[in-house]
Structure 1
Amino acid sequence: MQSPTITGPLDDFLQQPNIEASPAWEFIHGQAQQKPIPTLFHRKFWV
């Protein structure tokens, strides 16, 4: 599964409505990418 991306300036990125609903976004080199959600298998290591 590929994460959705948003391209454009930082101001455009910050105006996206899904940014507040899902904090797992990063803005790198002019592109916004949603961080992948860990699977149940990976969560076992953090418990």
Structure 2
Amino acid sequence: MNQAWGLIAAVPALLVMIAFMYRQGAMPGVGAIAAAGMTIVIGALLFWS
């Protein structure tokens, strides 16, 4: 359970990194949306498990 909480706590940092990569042009919009969506879904599943 401790590892899951660590990953849940990292979700905001991952979202900031995805937004930064998108703004720098390193990631297309569709890829940024997909990565953010997957990050949120994985964080939510870990939270509820």
Normalised TM-score (structure 2) = 0.25
TM-score, with length taken from structure 1: 0.26
Asked which structure has the greater RCO (Cα within 8 Å, sep 6+), the reply is: 2
Structure with more helix by fraction: 2
Quick check: which has more Rg, 1 or 2? 1
